Amino acid sequence: MQIQWYPGHMYKASKELKKALPKVDLLIEILDARIPFSSENPMLAEIRGDKPCIKVLNKSDLADPKITQQWQDYLEQDKGVKTLAINGLQSNKVNTLVDLCKKMITISDIRDRAIHALIMGIPNVGKSTIINTLAGRTIAKTGNEPAVTKMQQRIDLNNGVVLLDTPGMLWPNIENPNSGYRLAATGAIKDTAMEYGDVASYIAEYLIANYPERLKSRFQLAQLPEQDYDFLEIIGKQRGCIKAGGYLDLYRISKILITEFRDAVLGPITLETPEMMQREIAEVIELRAAKAAKQATRKANRKKRRR
């Protein structure tokens, strides 16, 4: 399962990002603390070079705190990377981001001028809310829909830091199918890009395996079924999501489960761990190699037929 979602303004933004990099002192990437790997733009690692980078795990109030700490420890293994777990709506916590910028870039590095930081993040990760909190006024447009910011803008925070804001960018092709589902679950991808039933089934399967007690408590169940669809059917009957003839209204119950996950009604939940990502990265590499081998075979066969 691959999601193709790459609006034209994002292609333009990626080119502008590469052009802006030499002019900035450090990078700030806003991640969703519930999916730190899946919300991390792989393009950044390719073009960052030796620029210092702050990985901000936003919406940490919605994520499992133990796993958030695992991610911070994991991400800070990379040279020049520091992390900060915050809730973008808490101004006192957000403002520590400026202090961290000043610790990572010394006065001698920038010759007594303001620190220039490029701030980026995928759609709907809370970047605009963080910018507005830092600036103390509404500068960046916010919204629940992905891809609100359309163009770069320069923001002087008047405290020794200047931000270069970029549009929320997703990469051209999401190779890891699990990352696609996670992005859809958190709202980074527009709801029209995937079927609600598929996303809800993914969430249900993950929660049954990793947060069973949360589900039992929320839906007052003594036991959980093993299959995701069986679970959706049970809670669908609880919530009256049944169509004529006694069939499950999959769309309605899927929307309910997705909404309760996004609003943390089920409690703070993280959908991926560093250990999981190591396995999935290996799987993607294998799939990529198999695809390349298949293409090479087809190319060789075409050459034979031409002879």
Predicted confidence (pLDDT) per residue in 46-77, tens digit: 778 888 999 999 999 999 999 999 999 999 99
pTM for the predicted model, two decimal places: 0.85
Predicted confidence (pLDDT) per residue in 97-126, tens digit: 999 999 998 655 566 678 999 998 888 899
3-state helix/strand/coil string of 85-134: ECCCCCHHHHCHHHHHHHHHCCHHHHCCCCEEEEEEECCCCCHHHHHHHH
Domain 3-173: give its CATH architecture.
3-Layer(aba) Sandwich (3.40)
Residue 146 has pLDDT above 50, yes or no: no
Q: How do the domains of the chain map onto residue ranges?
A: 3-173
